[in-house]
Amino acid sequence: MSEDYTPPPVWIWDKANGGAFAGVNRPTAGAQREGELPVGQHPFQLYSLGTPNGQKATIMLEELLELGIAEAEYDAWMIKIFEQDQFTTGFVGINPNSKIPAMVDHSGPEPIRVFESGAIILHLAEKFGKFLPSGGKERAEVLSWLFWQVGSAPFIGGGFGHFYHYAPFKIEYAIDRYAMETKRLFDVANNRLKESRFLGGDDYSIADIATYPWLGAIHRGDAYGDAATFLSMQEYEAVGRWVAEIDARPGAQRGRIVNTTKGPLERHAASDFAAAAQAAT
Ligand SMILES: N[C@@H](CCC(=O)N[C@@H](CS)C(=O)NCC(=O)O)C(=O)O
């Protein structure tokens, strides 16, 4: 592997080239081993991990529970992506893309699988009529910001985060390209949040739930080493105001720590948060 590289006529997979993700990434899809998914008692079964994409689903579920909607009770099972849990027959059966989060909705006559974080929070918003306006320009605005986030996340994570933090050597061209795009995305959000309390409008919505785990982690300095300094996060004051407002929401606080070492590794009941906090002391 070298920085001075001329592509051959045909690309051939070299396992050693994956850097931090060498054990995970493959150029093929599909199950790699047998394995069933556990199923708990609650209507929603979530198979995930507490990464920003995983947090979108758990924040949404915890926000619904915070509203007193008991029908949104869920079991969160941990999918250890570095141990290749996403390649079992069970997981691939609910997400052919082998990425967390994936969910099964058991609340109806037959189980419904939902994969892709954006699809999961949209499914829940529609099911419970929460965090998504019912129509008109308000709904269009929330969906626009939701899909903006889903489309942008790979430039931040797979682009900037990968080349700035995880890549085995630092490539200036790649870091420049994705730092520029990540800063541009922060500026898009900052401009919007200067004129609007939340991304979709006056009310907190699934657009915020999708975007907050990504922008919040970088703005707070919790992601990719010292990325907050590198990307001059102090320039994005309106994003900081919005992150602080969501940081204070109990549902967001709980949702951020599910399936992480800071909270319950698996979540099956509200009491799991207190148990995890006590175990940590
Ligand atoms: N577009 C997907 C992306 C999900 C995603 O990238 N998940 C990562 C963790 S954040 C994953 O499961 N990676 C495992 C792998 O690539 O094998 C979504 O939003 O749900």
Percentage of the chain exceeding pLDDT 90 = 93
pLDDT at 191: 99
Which residue among 25, 97, 99 has the greatest number of ligand 1 atoms within 8 angstroms of its CB, and so is best to mutate? Answer: 99
If one counts every other C-beta atom within 10 angstroms of the C-beta of residue 257, the result is 19
pLDDT category at 22 given cuts 50, 70, 90 is: confident
CB 37 within 8 A of CB 86: no
Query: For 233-262, what is each residue's pLDDT tens digit?
Result: 999 999 999 999 999 999 999 999 999 999
Per the DSSP assignment, residues forming a β-bridge with 112 are: 105
Residue-range domains of the chain with CATH: 1-130 (3.40.30.10), 136-248 (1.20.1050.10)
> Dihedral of the CA atoms 103, 75, 212, 63 (nearest 10)?
110
Distance CA 216, CA 237 (A): 12
CA of 116 to the centre of ligand 1 (A): 8
259 C-beta closer than 6 A to ligand 1 = no
81 C-beta closer than 6 A to ligand 1 = yes
Which atom in ligand 1 lies closest to the alpha carbon of residue 116? 20
CA of 45 to the centre of ligand 1 (A): 18
If one counts every other C-beta atom within 10 angstroms of the C-beta of residue 77, the result is 21
Task: Kindly provide the residue ranges of all beta strands, DSSP E only, lying in the chain, ordered along the sequence.
Answer: 44-48, 74-78, 102-105, 112-115
CB 78 within 8 A of CB 266: yes
Element (H, E) at 106: none
CA of 98 to the centre of ligand 1 (A): 8
Give the closest residue (by CA) to ligand 1 atom 14: 99
Distance CA 139, CA 128 (A): 15
- Tokens representing residue 40 in the block: 């708990």
CB 111 within 8 A of CB 59: no
φ, ψ for residue 44 (rounded to 5)? -110, 130
Mean pLDDT, rounded, of the chain = 96
Per-state percent for the chain, helix, strand, coil, to nearest 5: 55, 5, 35
What DSSP line would sit under 47-103, residue for residue? EE-SSHHHHHHHHHHHHHHHTT-GGG-EEEEE--GGGTGGGBHHHHHH-TT--S-EE
CA of 281 to the centre of ligand 1 (A): 31
205 C-beta closer than 6 A to ligand 1 = no
Query: For 151-188, what is each residue's pLDDT tens digit?
Result: 999 999 999 999 999 999 999 999 999 999 999 999 99
pTM above 0.85, yes or no: yes
CA of 100 to the centre of ligand 1 (A): 5
Query: For 201-229, what is each residue's pLDDT tens digit?
Result: 999 999 999 999 999 999 999 999 999 99
- Tokens representing residue 202 in the block: 């006056």
